[in-house]
Structure 1
Amino acid sequence: MSARDRRRTRPALLALLLLTCLLGLLAPATPAALAAGDAAPTGEPAASSAARTGPSALPTRPPDDATARPDDEDELGVRVQVLEIAPVVLRPGEDLTVRVRLTNTGEDEVTAPRAYVRIERIRPGTRADLETWLAEPAATGSGGRVGTRAATVAADAPLPSGAAVDLTLTVPAGEVGLLDRPDVWGARGLAVEAVDGTRRVGLERTFVLWAPEGAIPQARVSVLAPVVGPPTVPAALEGEATVPGDDLETLAGPGGRLAEVLDVARAHPDVSLAVDPALVASARAADGAAGTWSQDLLTVAAGRDVMVLPWGDPDLTALAHAGTPDLLQAAVERSRAATVGGTTQDAALAGRTDVLWAPGPTTDQATADLAAEAGAEVLVLAPGDLPTRTGEPSGARTDDAGDGLVGLVPDEVLTELLVDPVSLDPDATPATVVQRVLAELSVVARASGTGPQHLLVAPPRGWTPDREVVDATLAAVQSAPWSRLSSLSSLLGAPSDTTAREPLPALTEVAAALPAEQVRRLAEARAGTQTFASVTTDPDAIVAGVDEAVLTPLATAWRVDPPARAEVVDAVVTEVDARRTGLELAQTSTQNIISASGEVRFSVRNGLPADATVQVRTTPRKACLRAGESATVVVPAGGEAAVPVPVHATANCEVEVEAVLTSADGTPLSAPVTFLARVTPTIESVGTGVVGVLLAVGLVLGIVRTVRRGQSARRGARRVREEEGTRPLPVLGGTPEGDA
């Protein structure tokens, strides 16, 4: 090339070089570059390159530190489980140990299995950010955010299909790469990546919890554990209905649901209990494991926050939709009688009876209104009720449940983590549950500017706790710098959360709840028996056990088996109705009524052990006969009495008459009886009556006419005209003046 050509080419090369540099400056950072940096949110400055040369410096990335990428989503054939993260809360100067298990769930052998620990150093600002990190895809073209590699370990041998290997990775304190400043505490994303060579074959996400020295605000957590029994039937109906699920003896025995809940409460004094007193009564009356469990429960409950549920734990939603507040009131009063200070001799429980617990899964406004009508001050709602308008979870205590009613909304994520963490993460372990719970609470604590934010964990009634998960989680909550366990009373005494919430829905029906017509059948049977008993001098002998029987099929526990529950409803209604026997109105033969006024006498038999006060109501089917009000008669116990009923006949006829035995207020007490009445009032009786009526009417009309016309000069005081041709005589007699 000539010198002239070289001079012409030099400016073009310089321009191309400048353009290349400019494009390099303007190009956005790649995901790998972002992951390699130590970015920080507002208020948490990123570490400078000079600072990274000290003890907290990031490690130099090895040549093979490129993010492993899977070929396809379906090729993630290794299941990654985090078995342990120690310490749970990491502090400056401490090494981080992560123990993992890799399980080959694919068909091909993993020839060179290795595991990486990666840390995402951007602190999540909201609970939604935590969810975003966990939801990052594990197998995409870019691999998603996985953080910066902080530790590596290789397995000693290939991993055949179906095999598993446990590996331990240690991140030295100097390579954690988080700032040692008081304001940077909280959760960071942590990922464990399984690779085969350079290909990702598995990924699990969790959190590392960072806590430098300094003042840290705290979030409060209350746990309300349900102590409710299985579905039951009244003692009088045992053997007539099939009870689903395990019986009380099994649930209270080793490994049973009730035994596990009691063990959780025993290990954690701040856990509050929601107890059905009917369950305690049944357990105390039993032998074996159930009897022992009841005594242990009373010991554990002493000095603890206890919420005494209405007797039998009735389904509040079913009662609300049926419009039967009297049944709820009966259950509440029965529970109050079973608590310390109540009226029963065997009072054992001590707790609040003004806190009700909605059955869920969604609470409607009708249920809240029923709770307020029953005099409750607090209603425990279902997780997910009253969502905030912002979509971000908020505190538990709210005034939006109803007029004058405080609502407690369990935290949906925290409750699910204690109840069924696998539903949130198929590869969940006790270690990842603990890290997730503390990560959630760290965000809550940081956002509570006006005071500690209070959350509620309320597992469902059928909760069988996983002791390993629950014990580890509650212990971690109690020991973490930004959280503490707290009693239910502390939550009830806290200020209500003012976050705007959506209203409770207006549901027309709840599929699992007892249908309204079935609830009304129970209510009517109870009311009828109470009225029947009220006419006797010893009503308690008749109504004893009626409330317990009627409340049995209303228990929320019966939602698990609606067909069997319907059988129990039928049996209970039959049994309660059968108590309304013993008072009988004897059948009456044909009655001949031959006068306009008379009476029919009815015979009443009392087979009850107490006196009864009754009346008889008669209803003729034709207008020719009218019946008056019956006398009230006291029928002696085991005896018989006659009850007269006045009747009035107006014409000759044959009429069918229905008679029924009633209470003083007219409520029927027996089945009606019918008889034929031949009404033949005599002509004299009818005529005399008619004439008497006419005379009375004439007299009244005459009096009225005279009163209305009054007296005048021409009536009453007028002189009679002298007849024509007559003249008055002198005063002393003699001849008239004209004749003289």
Structure 2
Amino acid sequence: MRIVPVLLALGLAVGVLVVPSVGNAAVPPIDDGSVSLVAAPAFSGVLRAGQALQVTGTVTNSTGQDMDAGVASVYLPEIGLGSRDALSDWLDSDAGSAGVPLGTALGTTEIGELARGQVRTFTITIPAKALRLSGTATTAHPLAMRLASGDVEVDFARSAVVWLPDGTVPEVSVAVVTPLVAPSGGTGLIDAATLETLTAPGGLLDVQLQTALSHPVAIGVDPMIIASIRILGSSASQSALDWLALLASASNDVFPLGYADADPALAAQAGATLPLAPLAFPIDESLFPVTPEETPEPGVTPVPTPPPAVPTPETLLDWTYTIEGLAWPADSTVAPDDLAALANAGYSRLLLNSTQLEGTIGSSPNVTLLSPDETDAAAKSDTKLTATVSDDALSRLVRTAATALTDVEANAALAAISAQLAVTAYADRGTTLVATLGRDGSAAGPRIDDVLGTLESLPWVSVTSLGEALVLPAQAARLAPSAQPDDRVSTARSLLAAERDVTAFSSVADDPTLVTGPHRLALLGLFAESWAFDQAGWAAATTAYLEESRATLESVHIPDGSTVNFPLEKGNLPIAVRNELAFPVTVYVRVQPERAILDVLDSRVELKIEANSQARVQIPVQSIANGEVRTMVTLTSSNGTRISTPTVVDLNVQAGWETTATVVLVIVVIGLFGAGIWRTVHRRRKVLRAAHEPDGAPEATGEDES
């Protein structure tokens, strides 16, 4: 039966290719399909004299049908890969054999039928006497494995081995940099429960830190983690406190990332003023209680215990770093026009990916960056920024190996790492390379410890510190055109615009940092580099930020109302204002009638409103004429910033009504008062007449008797 093979590549370590007849190898025709082969040598691809070659392969049948039995063959050409370009051509090529003669297969094994969806792993061992490698220099050689079923080549995998002669000495140096970051968030602080989980044994932050401390790697620390633990005071978990103490004990090179690992290149291209930093923190003083003094024993002088200091924004972020002024933007995202903004922000050095530079660099990883308007290297003395360049190919292989899901995939990546460094040692002796782990999870990958251990164990490699690499000489270089994706920059601009609106609005608060502080922390969290690996999550988080910003801008407003009757010639017009914030605000109310039938006697009246409450302000006005008038009511802050959308109130003005009402009321009062007096006088006269008449006399009726 025929299978339709799919060409599947494994990073840079394992490629797939249609191989024509070369040397003594008979090459069957190839067909299309989805059966994949992965192959890798043992011992990270290192082969010593007298040592057998062991190659492990994995075949995966992801087609919809069974695969016939086949044969896997291993080839190890004697030709050496003398340069990094030659190695890359071999590992990355998907057309032909990249000019490498494969020769005769050194070993084969039968692969039985493979059911659809089935995965099979096998190992081919080639005795040392069958290998024809020799020489006194450490060299890399191509390694190939072919899987054929009948007359059809199913798949072809490529890797490399390193010939290691006796007496090999270190000829290439490697410095590794790892980030110490928490998962992406939209608040700019990590809550207590999450911190406890992350710092507990086996938690993400615990794994990252424990791994870093076990190896001589440089650590880029997100200051947000430090601040998030310190701000918890007495509520911080013991695991978080222990983690912070462990970080403080590190002997590694340590430098700060941007707060919340905010990407400075994204901020620069979005138009932010750098550096983006926290403005304030929500510090709860009750989490820093004063410990009651103990009653001293008789005759013992008490030792005063200073109360725990309530932290400030400065003390929350304070840390002793061994490297300062280093910015680490996302790979391949810095534009030439960003250099001035980054330099003005106080950065003196960038950690850049090698794909960012035009041309190649020498044995040192350091370059002096030419600004866009500099035309020659002679102008480099005026450049403010230096860059330390991480090797892109090596960094990608390290990340691939650290996150590999299977042993074969990990070994294939490790073999490619060994070959990369062997070729560098052979062709560019004395070179120092920098490799970086990414924000893609590789810093806590399941195999990161093995990867770093392999780097440290390669005899031709000397692991060095980042600090030692930074002092190496620098040559002039220019950035290649590059930038953040357009949609990412556009979204970042929207976030910055929303923050500007909220900052202007914050003048309404008695303490503006109660508004601006949380919004800046959330903004920094949304600029985190790790969001690049979670686009859907970033879209949801940025949408939530924009909605919250709009809600903040509408939190102080005039409630909707109906027509208001104003029957006074002169008096106060009541206006209600609602404050939905959790803290007091002060607004200034302005009333502007559209027609001159109402005269506003005070055009700017102050009103203080407590948290989550409503208050009324009395605007002094005077009626000029009768009629209805649309009146615009505007709220502003103390500096004149407009707060919320102006509200239109319909007023029904009845000028002079209070005068008429007063006259009528006076007449009614006088009438009632006069009637009361008349009745009182009349009653007293009747009483007096009755008192002067004799007993039994007939009561006067007012009529004559006949």
Aligned-partner Cα distance in 2 for 1:236–1:467: 24
Q: What residue number does 2:50 align with?
A: 95
Residue 231 in structure 1 maps to residue 190 in structure 2: no
Counterpart check, 1:524 vs 2:501: yes
Q: Which amino acid aligns with 1:295?
A: D
Displacement of 1:217 in angstroms is 3.8
Counterparts of residues 440-479 of structure 1 (less than 5 Å): 440-445=420-425, 452-463=431-442, 465-468=444-447, 470-479=448-457
For residues 300 and 233 of structure 1, the distance between their equivalents in structure 2, rounded to whole angstroms, comes to 23
What is the aligned counterpart of 1:486 among 437, 443, 464? 464
Distance 2:46 2:443 in 1: 25
Q: Does 1:399 align with 2:399?
A: no
Distance 1:452 1:622, change over 3 A: farther
Cα distance in structure 1, aligned partners of 2:269 and 2:601:
41
- Amino acid corresponding to residue 101 of structure 1 in structure 2: T
Listed as ranges, the gaps of 5+ residues in structure 2 are: 1-21, 62-66, 115-119, 283-309, 373-382, 656-706
Q: Which residue of 2 aligns with 1:734?
A: none
User: Would you say 1:414 and 2:411 are equivalent positions?
Assistant: no
Q: For residues 78 and 604 of structure 1, what CA distance do their matches in structure 2 show?
A: 72
Confirm or deny that 1:268 pairs with 2:215: yes
| 1:439 equivalent in alignment to 2:415 | no
Among 372, 389, 410, which residue is 2:359 paired with? 389
Alignment of 1:310 with 2:258, yes or no, is yes
Supply the AA of the counterpart residue of 1:561. G
Select the residue among 348, 368, 380 that pairs with 1:377.
348
Alignment correspondent of 1:82: 40
> What one-letter code is carried by the residue in structure 2 that aligns with 1:189?
P
Is structure 2 residue 29 aligned with structure 1 residue 72?
Answer: yes
Q: 1:87 to 1:68 in 2, by over 3 A?
A: closer
Q: Give yes or no for the alignment of 1:666 onto 2:613.
A: no
Cα–Cα, structure 1 residues 444 and 588, in superposed 2: closer, same or farther, change >3 Å?
A: farther
Alpha carbons of 1:645 and 1:251: their partners in 2 closer, same or farther (altered >3 Å)?
A: same
Query: What does residue 134 of structure 2 align with?
Result: 178
Give a deviation string over 1:503-548, Cα, whole Å, max 9, x none: 334864338x7353344224312431x2112xx3x55566664433
Q: d(CA) in 1 for partners of 2:261 and 2:582?
A: 34
**Aligned equivalents of 1:68, 1:358: Cα separation in 2:** 48
Computing the radius of gyration from Cα coordinates, the structure with the larger value is: 1
What SS does the aligned partner of 1:206 have?
Answer: strand
Structure-1 separation of matches of 2:269 and 2:125:
57
- The structure-2 alpha-carbon separation of the partners of 1:527 and 1:393, relative to structure 1 and needing over 3 Å to count, comes to farther
Q: Deviations over 1:205-256 (max 9, x none)?
A: 3131445647764333232234132335589999xxxxxxx97777667766
User: Which amino acid in the other structure matches residue 123 of structure 2?
Assistant: D
Per the alignment, residue 659 of structure 2 pairs with none
Alignment check: 8 A CA contact 2:179 2:220 kept: yes
For 2:25, the aligned partner's letter is A
Distance verdict in 2 for CA 1:343–1:288, change over 3 Å: closer
Mark the CA change 1:584 to 1:236 in structure 2 (over 3 Å): closer, same or farther.
farther
What is the CA RMSD across the aligned residues, in angstroms? 5.8
Counterpart of 2:295 in structure 1 is none
CA distance in 2, matches of 1:136, 1:660: 68
Q: Secondary structure at the match of 2:480?
A: coil
Contact 2:259 2:278 in 1 (8 A): yes
Deviations, residues 483-507 of structure 1 (Å, cap 9, x unaligned): 3333443444444343454233486
How do 1:602-681 and structure 2 match up within 5 A? 615-617=588-590, 619=592, 621=594, 658-669=632-643, 672=646, 674=649
- Counterpart contact for 1:531–1:667, Cα < 8 Å: yes
CA contact under 8 A between 2:575 and 2:618: conserved in structure 1?
yes
Aligned match of 2:176 = 222
- How far off its partner does 1:413 sit? 1.3
Task: Mark the CA change 1:665 to 1:631 in structure 2 (over 3 Å): closer, same or farther.
Answer: same
Candidates 69, 86, 89, aligned match of 1:129: 86
In structure 2, the residue corresponding to 1:329 is in which secondary structure?
coil
Post-superposition offset of 1:573:
1.9
TM-score of the two chains, using structure 1 as the length reference: 0.60
Map of 2:329 onto structure 1: 358
Structure 1 unaligned blocks of 5 or more: 1-64, 239-245, 681-740
Q: Distance in 1 between matches of 2:47 and 2:619?
A: 88
**In the TM superposition, what is the alpha-carbon distance from 1:665 to its structure 2 partner?**
2.4
For residues 134 and 73 of structure 2, the distance between their equivalents in structure 1, rounded to whole angstroms, comes to 25
Paired residue secondary structure (2:502): helix
Residue type at the aligned position of 2:461: S
Match for 1:100: what amino acid? V
Matched residue count: 577
Aligned residues of 2:366 and 2:472 also touching (Cα < 8 A): no
